[in-house]
Structure 1
């Protein structure tokens, strides 16, 4: 990868990106409240199952297709996959999460002036912009290789899950980094799967996670927005 593309990727995959990713746990806080996650072993098991059964089966393949659509400037495909992703958010919190971060990233790329007029017009035509849609737009605008961008997206997701556990289980910083290091082979496998899975084999079926998200909406005390 060229240095410019790598630096662009590091910036747009950074947890310091001001889109609010740190404020969401994606159902993990409800799993902590219920006791399903309570130590390093259960935290790692939770992240692995979420990665392989949800993210690798749906979110990452959708992101992969969106990156391809944006790079080809296939606006019809970009809109279709964005609409499908938003429709797949089966709780109020999951839907609000992707819309809020998608809006924030859209605003950021516009203010940084990294997208051309056609790309910006396409983003603005969308009634609501999902986070993977805005991320794919930035990847295309900055000429970031898709395989590297997908790995960065998956790593950023895993890192955020680990940070939730560090703060809320709680785990020590070293324990959190140990979990993150142990996930590397699984992240690579998830990326490979996302690039090869067929449209008819993609799935976001995770009723237990959906129920936990709905329970989180009425959880009495919480730190995170999902």
Structure 2
């Protein structure tokens, strides 16, 4: 049987590799393609320029090695800004999927106002603007216009990702997992440069954090919008202190 030939009894979307091994259904693999592009360091949102307050945490010694990095970023994913962003992403995705402009406006407005500091707001709104601008040009879809119809303000980054994923039919679960992994990867990359940590320890940290992503994504997907919130107060303070930090490599 040739490569790419349908597997008998399994539908036209399942194919064989050269060695005859069954691959994933083509439709399922196709959902990953936009996420791999959108959430890669190459996508022009400038994520590399933001540390989410991590730069201040390194200066004060809160993050100084592999263990402290895993603890800091893990807390953010579990109960900090990244978790709340995942909640906003889920509600934006559902609003677009249901073509519910009122619900989309509600989550867009809350996400834009939810940042605890000026730099955090800049971080999410600048990346949201850049993400939507790049996606409209390179990945157009009719439902991308729903955010402009529903909300006259700027879209926060997780809202932009949720809207785009829903507009392209990318499932919510895989979108949340990819988004949280990308956030963790960006923070680990910042720590590798700042602490400094070696690439090996950075990779260990990301591997450990990625094992927690699925459960965190499930919790975020189930969280009502009215219950959005976090408890990573040290990170919020770090973002505020970073605004007046004497030497800075990052914009947040």
* TM-score bracket relative to the smaller structure: over 0.9
What are the equivalent positions in structure 2 for 1:176-187 lying under 5 Å apart?
176-187=202-213
Say which SS state the counterpart of residue 73 (structure 1) adopts. Answer: coil
State which of 210, 216, 222 in structure 1 corresponds to 2:248.
Answer: 222
RMSD: 1.7
What is the Cα deviation at residue 75 of structure 1? 1.3
Q: Residue 138 of structure 1: which of 124, 143, 164 is its match?
A: 164
Separation of aligned partners in 2, 1:105 and 1:131: 7
Q: 1:184 to 1:206 in 2, by over 3 A?
A: closer
Per-residue deviation, 1:123: 2.6
Structure 1 ranges of 4+ moved more than 6 A: none
Count matched residues: 225
Q: Which moved more, 1:191-200 or 1:12-21?
A: 191-200
**Does 2:170 align with 1:148?**
no
TM-score when normalising by structure 1? 0.93
- Secondary structure, counterpart of 1:2 in structure 2: helix
Secondary structure at 2:80 match in 1 = helix
Task: Indicate if the aligned counterparts of 2:119 and 2:243 stay in contact, CA closer than 8 A.
Answer: yes
Q: Which is further off, 2-11 or 165-174?
A: 2-11
Q: Tell me which residue corresponds to 2:145.
A: 120
Q: Given the two structures, how large is their TM-score scaled by the length of structure 2?
A: 0.84
In structure 1, runs of 5+ residues without a counterpart are none
Structure number with bigger Rg: 2
- After TM superposition, give the deviation of residue 115 of structure 1 in Å: 2.1
- What's 2:200 paired with? 174
Deviation digits for residues 18-46 of structure 1, max 9, x if unmatched? 10011100010010011111111111111
Matches within 5 A, 1:58-207: 58-116=84-142, 119-120=144-145, 122-123=147-148, 125-207=151-233
Q: Which of the two has greater helix per residue?
A: 1
Match of residue 19 from structure 1: 45
Higher relative contact order (CA 8 A, sep 6+): 1
Deviation at 1:113, TM superposition (A): 4.8
Q: Per-residue deviation at 1:207?
A: 2.9
Contact 1:56 1:194 in 2 (8 A): no
Q: Secondary structure at the match of 1:220?
A: coil
CA contact (8 A) 1:25 1:161 kept: yes
Alignment partners' CA distance in 1, 2:82 and 2:135: 26
Distance 2:212 2:243 in 1: 30
Q: Which residue of 2 aligns with 1:39?
A: 65
Unmatched runs of 5 consecutive residues or more in structure 2: 1-26
More deviation, 162-171/194-203: 194-203
Residues in 2 aligned to 1:101 and 1:200: alpha-carbon distance in whole angstroms: 24
